Amino acid sequence: MALFQSSTRIIPDVANVPRHIAIIMDGNGRWAKKRFLPRVAGHQRGVETVREVVRACHEMGVEYLTLFAFSSENWRRPADEVSFLMQLFLKMLEREVSKLHNNNIRLKIIGDRSRFDDTLNRYIEDAEALTANNTNLTLTVAANYGGRWDIMQAMRAMVRDRPELAGAFEEADLAPYLSMSYAPEPDLFIRTGGEQRISNFLLWQLAYAELYFTDTLWPAFDADALRAAIASYQARERRFGRTSEQVQAGGQAQAASQDERHA
Ligand code: IPE
Ligand code: IPE
Ligand code: MG
Protein backbone atom coordinates (compact mmCIF):
# COMPACT_ATOMS: atom_id res chain seq x y z
CA MET A 1 0.00 0.00 0.00
CA ALA A 2 1.27 3.43 -0.89
CA LEU A 3 2.31 5.62 2.02
CA PHE A 4 0.94 9.12 2.24
CA GLN A 5 1.88 11.92 4.54
CA SER A 6 -0.75 12.90 7.07
CA SER A 7 -0.71 16.71 7.35
CA THR A 8 -1.12 16.55 11.11
CA ARG A 9 1.69 14.05 11.68
CA ILE A 10 4.31 15.13 9.17
CA ILE A 11 4.73 18.31 7.14
CA PRO A 12 3.79 17.34 3.59
CA ASP A 13 5.86 18.31 0.57
CA VAL A 14 4.19 21.17 -1.26
CA ALA A 15 4.29 21.20 -5.06
CA ASN A 16 3.64 24.19 -7.30
CA VAL A 17 0.76 22.45 -9.02
CA PRO A 18 -1.58 20.94 -6.43
CA ARG A 19 -1.25 17.16 -6.42
CA HIS A 20 -4.83 16.70 -5.30
CA ILE A 21 -7.80 18.98 -6.06
CA ALA A 22 -11.20 18.32 -4.45
CA ILE A 23 -14.25 20.11 -5.85
CA ILE A 24 -17.82 20.68 -4.66
CA MET A 25 -19.61 21.08 -7.97
CA ASP A 26 -22.41 23.40 -6.87
CA GLY A 27 -24.82 25.73 -8.64
CA ASN A 28 -26.36 23.50 -11.31
CA GLY A 29 -29.94 24.25 -10.26
CA ARG A 30 -29.40 28.01 -10.20
CA TRP A 31 -27.65 27.92 -13.57
CA ALA A 32 -30.74 26.26 -15.05
CA LYS A 33 -33.19 28.51 -13.25
CA LYS A 34 -31.51 31.61 -14.65
CA ARG A 35 -32.22 30.22 -18.10
CA PHE A 36 -35.81 29.24 -17.29
CA LEU A 37 -34.85 25.58 -17.60
CA PRO A 38 -35.67 22.74 -15.21
CA ARG A 39 -33.02 22.14 -12.51
CA VAL A 40 -31.99 18.87 -14.08
CA ALA A 41 -30.86 20.70 -17.24
CA GLY A 42 -28.17 22.20 -15.03
CA HIS A 43 -27.01 18.74 -13.92
CA GLN A 44 -26.93 17.65 -17.55
CA ARG A 45 -24.84 20.66 -18.52
CA GLY A 46 -22.58 20.11 -15.50
CA VAL A 47 -21.37 16.88 -17.07
CA GLU A 48 -19.66 18.92 -19.79
CA THR A 49 -17.82 20.90 -17.15
CA VAL A 50 -16.68 17.62 -15.61
CA ARG A 51 -15.18 16.56 -18.94
CA GLU A 52 -13.38 19.89 -19.36
CA VAL A 53 -12.02 19.94 -15.81
CA VAL A 54 -10.81 16.34 -16.00
CA ARG A 55 -8.99 17.13 -19.25
CA ALA A 56 -7.45 20.31 -17.83
CA CYS A 57 -6.27 18.59 -14.65
CA HIS A 58 -4.75 15.83 -16.69
CA GLU A 59 -2.89 18.37 -18.87
CA MET A 60 -1.66 20.41 -15.92
CA GLY A 61 -0.22 17.40 -14.15
CA VAL A 62 -2.69 17.22 -11.27
CA GLU A 63 -2.45 13.65 -9.94
CA TYR A 64 -5.77 13.35 -8.08
CA LEU A 65 -9.09 15.02 -8.82
CA THR A 66 -12.02 14.35 -6.47
CA LEU A 67 -15.52 15.50 -7.41
CA PHE A 68 -18.51 15.68 -5.05
CA ALA A 69 -21.42 14.44 -7.17
CA PHE A 70 -24.06 13.48 -4.59
CA SER A 71 -23.99 13.96 -0.84
CA SER A 72 -25.46 11.70 1.82
CA GLU A 73 -27.96 14.53 2.41
CA ASN A 74 -28.98 14.94 -1.25
CA TRP A 75 -31.58 12.14 -0.78
CA ARG A 76 -33.66 14.89 0.84
CA ARG A 77 -34.31 16.39 -2.61
CA PRO A 78 -37.49 15.75 -4.60
CA ALA A 79 -37.66 12.10 -5.71
CA ASP A 80 -37.64 12.95 -9.42
CA GLU A 81 -34.43 14.97 -9.10
CA VAL A 82 -32.75 12.18 -7.09
CA SER A 83 -33.79 9.65 -9.69
CA PHE A 84 -32.50 11.88 -12.52
CA LEU A 85 -29.14 12.18 -10.80
CA MET A 86 -28.87 8.40 -10.35
CA GLN A 87 -29.71 7.87 -14.03
CA LEU A 88 -27.15 10.47 -15.02
CA PHE A 89 -24.49 8.74 -12.93
CA LEU A 90 -25.29 5.43 -14.61
CA LYS A 91 -25.16 7.02 -18.07
CA MET A 92 -21.83 8.63 -17.28
CA LEU A 93 -20.40 5.28 -16.29
CA GLU A 94 -21.83 3.68 -19.43
CA ARG A 95 -20.50 6.32 -21.80
CA GLU A 96 -17.36 7.71 -20.30
CA VAL A 97 -15.48 4.83 -18.70
CA SER A 98 -13.91 3.52 -21.91
CA LYS A 99 -12.72 7.07 -22.73
CA LEU A 100 -11.22 7.44 -19.27
CA HIS A 101 -9.54 4.07 -19.67
CA ASN A 102 -8.09 5.06 -23.07
CA ASN A 103 -6.63 8.12 -21.40
CA ASN A 104 -5.02 5.94 -18.72
CA ILE A 105 -7.21 7.50 -16.00
CA ARG A 106 -8.03 5.52 -12.88
CA LEU A 107 -11.62 5.89 -11.68
CA LYS A 108 -12.59 5.48 -8.03
CA ILE A 109 -16.02 5.89 -6.46
CA ILE A 110 -16.29 6.74 -2.76
CA GLY A 111 -19.44 6.79 -0.64
CA ASP A 112 -22.03 4.44 0.80
CA ARG A 113 -23.07 2.12 -2.03
CA SER A 114 -25.72 0.28 -0.04
CA ARG A 115 -28.49 2.56 -1.32
CA PHE A 116 -27.60 2.09 -5.00
CA ASP A 117 -29.37 -0.55 -7.06
CA ASP A 118 -27.58 -3.66 -8.31
CA THR A 119 -27.12 -2.36 -11.85
CA LEU A 120 -25.41 0.81 -10.68
CA ASN A 121 -23.22 -1.13 -8.27
CA ARG A 122 -22.19 -3.51 -11.03
CA TYR A 123 -21.19 -0.60 -13.28
CA ILE A 124 -19.19 0.94 -10.45
CA GLU A 125 -17.33 -2.28 -9.74
CA ASP A 126 -16.61 -2.93 -13.42
CA ALA A 127 -15.37 0.62 -13.98
CA GLU A 128 -13.05 0.46 -11.00
CA ALA A 129 -11.73 -2.95 -12.00
CA LEU A 130 -11.14 -1.91 -15.61
CA THR A 131 -9.19 1.23 -14.71
CA ALA A 132 -7.49 0.00 -11.51
CA ASN A 133 -3.97 -0.10 -12.93
CA ASN A 134 -4.09 3.16 -14.86
CA THR A 135 -1.33 5.56 -13.98
CA ASN A 136 -2.34 9.03 -15.17
CA LEU A 137 -4.86 11.04 -13.18
CA THR A 138 -6.87 9.34 -10.41
CA LEU A 139 -10.43 10.63 -10.75
CA THR A 140 -12.57 10.03 -7.67
CA VAL A 141 -16.32 10.59 -7.75
CA ALA A 142 -17.95 10.99 -4.33
CA ALA A 143 -21.48 9.59 -4.58
CA ASN A 144 -23.74 9.17 -1.57
CA TYR A 145 -20.69 10.39 0.29
CA GLY A 146 -20.63 12.17 3.63
CA GLY A 147 -17.56 13.11 5.66
CA ARG A 148 -19.15 11.83 8.86
CA TRP A 149 -20.18 8.59 7.20
CA ASP A 150 -16.57 8.13 6.11
CA ILE A 151 -15.15 8.53 9.60
CA MET A 152 -17.82 6.24 11.07
CA GLN A 153 -17.34 3.48 8.50
CA ALA A 154 -13.57 3.67 9.01
CA MET A 155 -14.00 3.31 12.78
CA ARG A 156 -16.30 0.33 12.39
CA ALA A 157 -13.98 -1.41 9.94
CA MET A 158 -10.92 -0.78 12.12
CA VAL A 159 -12.61 -2.11 15.27
CA ARG A 160 -13.82 -5.17 13.33
CA ASP A 161 -10.36 -5.96 11.90
CA ARG A 162 -8.30 -5.09 14.94
CA PRO A 163 -10.37 -5.57 18.12
CA GLU A 164 -7.13 -5.77 20.12
CA LEU A 165 -6.63 -2.02 19.67
CA ALA A 166 -9.64 -1.33 21.88
CA GLY A 167 -9.41 2.34 22.86
CA ALA A 168 -5.67 2.57 22.23
CA PHE A 169 -5.60 3.44 18.56
CA GLU A 170 -3.77 6.27 16.85
CA GLU A 171 -4.53 8.42 13.83
CA ALA A 172 -2.29 6.17 11.74
CA ASP A 173 -4.34 3.10 12.71
CA LEU A 174 -7.54 4.69 11.45
CA ALA A 175 -6.10 6.28 8.30
CA PRO A 176 -5.99 3.13 6.14
CA TYR A 177 -9.73 2.60 6.65
CA LEU A 178 -10.82 6.02 5.41
CA SER A 179 -12.28 6.14 1.89
CA MET A 180 -9.38 8.04 0.37
CA SER A 181 -6.46 6.17 1.91
CA TYR A 182 -5.17 5.64 -1.64
CA ALA A 183 -4.58 9.38 -2.13
CA PRO A 184 -2.66 12.20 -0.49
CA GLU A 185 -4.84 14.77 1.29
CA PRO A 186 -6.33 17.46 -0.98
CA ASP A 187 -4.05 20.47 -1.45
CA LEU A 188 -6.76 22.63 -2.96
CA PHE A 189 -10.51 22.60 -2.27
CA ILE A 190 -12.77 24.42 -4.72
CA ARG A 191 -16.46 25.15 -4.27
CA THR A 192 -18.39 26.71 -7.12
CA GLY A 193 -21.83 28.31 -6.81
CA GLY A 194 -21.05 30.95 -4.19
CA GLU A 195 -21.77 29.10 -0.94
CA GLN A 196 -18.93 29.06 1.57
CA ARG A 197 -19.36 25.77 3.37
CA ILE A 198 -18.07 22.20 3.33
CA SER A 199 -21.52 20.49 3.25
CA ASN A 200 -20.17 17.28 4.86
CA PHE A 201 -17.58 16.66 2.13
CA LEU A 202 -14.13 15.29 3.06
CA LEU A 203 -14.11 16.41 6.71
CA TRP A 204 -11.04 14.46 7.79
CA GLN A 205 -9.01 14.85 4.62
CA LEU A 206 -9.47 18.63 4.24
CA ALA A 207 -7.62 19.36 7.50
CA TYR A 208 -4.96 21.52 5.77
CA ALA A 209 -6.41 22.06 2.31
CA GLU A 210 -6.41 25.58 0.89
CA LEU A 211 -10.03 26.64 0.44
CA TYR A 212 -11.17 28.47 -2.68
CA PHE A 213 -14.72 29.69 -3.23
CA THR A 214 -16.05 31.13 -6.46
CA ASP A 215 -19.45 32.53 -7.41
CA THR A 216 -19.22 30.89 -10.83
CA LEU A 217 -21.93 28.25 -11.15
CA TRP A 218 -20.64 24.76 -11.95
CA PRO A 219 -22.00 24.57 -15.53
CA ALA A 220 -20.17 27.86 -16.27
CA PHE A 221 -16.88 26.76 -14.67
CA ASP A 222 -14.11 25.93 -17.15
CA ALA A 223 -10.37 25.41 -17.63
CA ASP A 224 -9.67 29.13 -17.23
CA ALA A 225 -11.64 29.23 -13.99
CA LEU A 226 -9.64 26.24 -12.80
CA ARG A 227 -6.40 28.02 -13.68
CA ALA A 228 -7.57 31.03 -11.63
CA ALA A 229 -8.15 28.75 -8.63
CA ILE A 230 -4.70 27.22 -9.02
CA ALA A 231 -3.13 30.69 -9.33
CA SER A 232 -4.79 31.66 -6.05
CA TYR A 233 -3.42 28.49 -4.47
CA GLN A 234 0.08 29.25 -5.75
CA ALA A 235 0.04 32.67 -4.09
CA ARG A 236 -0.57 31.22 -0.62
CA GLU A 237 1.86 30.17 2.06
CA ARG A 238 1.07 26.76 3.51
CA ARG A 239 2.37 26.82 7.04
CA PHE A 240 0.94 23.65 8.60
CA GLY A 241 1.11 25.21 12.04
CA ARG A 242 4.57 26.77 11.70
CA THR A 243 5.52 30.43 11.50
CA SER A 244 6.15 32.17 8.22
CA GLU A 245 9.84 32.58 9.18
CA GLN A 246 10.18 28.84 9.63
CA VAL A 247 8.59 28.17 6.27
CA GLN A 248 10.92 30.62 4.56
CA ALA A 249 13.95 29.09 6.25
CA GLY A 250 13.01 25.74 4.75
CA GLY A 251 11.18 24.43 7.74
CA GLN A 252 10.20 21.25 5.96
CA ALA A 253 13.55 19.66 6.58
CA GLN A 254 14.03 20.98 10.11
CA ALA A 255 10.63 20.38 11.59
CA ALA A 256 10.51 17.58 14.05
CA SER A 257 8.16 15.13 12.51
CA GLN A 258 6.93 11.76 13.28
CA ASP A 259 6.95 8.99 10.75
CA GLU A 260 3.43 7.97 9.88
CA ARG A 261 4.24 4.75 8.10
CA HIS A 262 1.71 2.04 8.31
CA ALA A 263 1.46 -1.23 6.47
C1 IPE B 1 -24.94 20.73 -7.35
O2 IPE B 1 -25.85 21.67 -7.84
C3 IPE B 1 -25.25 19.33 -7.81
C4 IPE B 1 -25.73 18.44 -6.76
C5 IPE B 1 -25.87 18.72 -5.50
C6 IPE B 1 -26.10 17.10 -7.19
P7 IPE B 1 -27.20 21.99 -7.09
O8 IPE B 1 -28.25 21.08 -7.62
O9 IPE B 1 -27.01 21.94 -5.64
O10 IPE B 1 -27.47 23.46 -7.59
P11 IPE B 1 -28.04 24.67 -6.73
O12 IPE B 1 -27.16 24.82 -5.52
O13 IPE B 1 -29.44 24.33 -6.37
O14 IPE B 1 -27.94 25.83 -7.66
C1 IPE C 1 -23.13 19.86 -1.96
O2 IPE C 1 -24.04 20.69 -2.60
C3 IPE C 1 -23.16 18.50 -2.55
C4 IPE C 1 -22.76 18.35 -3.94
C5 IPE C 1 -22.33 19.28 -4.74
C6 IPE C 1 -22.84 17.03 -4.45
P7 IPE C 1 -25.48 21.01 -1.99
O8 IPE C 1 -26.11 21.98 -2.92
O9 IPE C 1 -26.20 19.75 -1.72
O10 IPE C 1 -25.09 21.69 -0.60
P11 IPE C 1 -25.94 22.59 0.39
O12 IPE C 1 -27.22 21.86 0.66
O13 IPE C 1 -26.21 23.88 -0.30
O14 IPE C 1 -25.07 22.76 1.58
MG1 MG D 1 -26.47 23.36 -4.29
Mean pLDDT of the chain: 94
Q: Can you give the pLDDT at residue 260?
A: 42
Query: Considering only CA atoms, which of 75, 136, 67 is closest in space to residue 101?
Result: 136
CA distances from 184 to 27, 67, 107, 174, 229 (A): 27, 15, 16, 15, 19
Range of the domain at 203: 20-262
pLDDT, mean of residues 138-149: 98
Atom of ligand 1 nearest to the CA of 32: 14
pLDDT at 5: 82
Which CATH number does the domain housing residue 81 bear? 3.40.1180.10
Asked, for residue 6, whether it belongs to a domain, the answer is: no
The Cα 99–Cα 233 span in angstroms is 30
The pLDDT score that the predictor gives to residue 1 is 45
Check the CA dihedral 114-67-38-212 and report its sign.
Answer: positive
For residue range 194-212, list pLDDT tens digits in order.
Answer: 999 999 999 999 999 999 9
> pLDDT at position 263, please?
38
| Banded pLDDT at 170 (limits 50, 70, 90) | very high
What is the CB neighbour count within 10 angstroms for residue 253?
8
pLDDT > 90? residue 15: no
- pLDDT of 233 above 60: yes
When divided into structural domains, the chain yields a total of 1
Task: Identify residue 43 by its one-letter amino acid code.
Answer: H
Q: Is residue 168 part of a domain?
A: yes
Longest dimension (CA), the chain: 59
Q: Which atom of ligand 2 is nearest to the CA of 68?
A: 6
What confidence score (pLDDT) does residue 13 get?
Answer: 85
- Determine the residue of 30, 39, 45 to mutate for testing ligand 1's pocket, defined as the one with the most ligand atoms within 8 A of the Cβ atom: 30
Q: Is 231 within the bounds of a domain?
A: yes
Q: What is the pLDDT of residues 63-78, one digit of tens each?
A: 999 999 999 999 999 9
15 assigned to some structural domain: no
